[in-house]
Amino acid sequence: MTRIKICGLSRFPDIEAVNGLKPEFVGFVFAPKSKRYVTPERAAELKRRLDPGIQAAGVFVREKPEFVASLLSDGIIDVAQLHGDENEDYIKRLRELADKPVIKAFRIREERDAEAAQNSGADYILLDSGAGTGNRFDWNLIRNVERPYFLAGGLDPDNIETALKQLKPYAVDVSSGIETDGIKDRSKMAAFIAAVRKEDRI
């Protein structure tokens, strides 16, 4: 079964929507420069309303590991998703502070980026075109990635079926592709999840 992550949630209606649609993961963005940024206090409020069967990932960019670990230890998030230049030493330090899963994101521009992802010590890898650009990268660059991965970058209800047929990722991660005017659109969220579940049944 393909796991689904709905990223960039910031509003209570977003939580209500995912509670009904049941993706495996949601994402709270803690990068201050992002338009989807939430404070730890806001994320805690959202998490309290989230279905306990859905895991919350915190998205960070070059954040201090102690801060990330504090959110993991406090139960505000269940998984840390790293989108900066965090290295293996950073991942090791984060694990020492909080023994929770780590997703490391990689920007795929050439084949050696995919090789770096393949060799990451993180629990999961996420392959993307950039830091929330909403654009698709060249999927041919990851044809040799053998470990399970989250596929991100430019996914939407119209192209997810093609992505699943071609790549068969462990999980898919979507944010801007299910928005209308920068706000999460429940109908697009439902269409995206329905398309993934349909492909799983084939």
- Residue numbers annotated as active site: 7, 128
Side chain identity at 153, as an amino acid letter? G
Say how far apart CA 58 and CA 181 lie, in whole Å: 23
Say how far apart CA 157 and CA 6 lie, in whole Å: 12
Show contacts of 115-120: CB within 8 Å, 24+ apart. 115/144, 117/142, 117/145, 117/149, 118/144, 118/145, 118/146, 118/147, 120/88, 120/91
Say how far apart CA 71 and CA 22 lie, in whole Å: 23
Parallel, antiparallel or unpaired: strands 25-29 and 183-184: unpaired
Q: Which residues pair with 27 in a beta bridge?
A: 7, 57
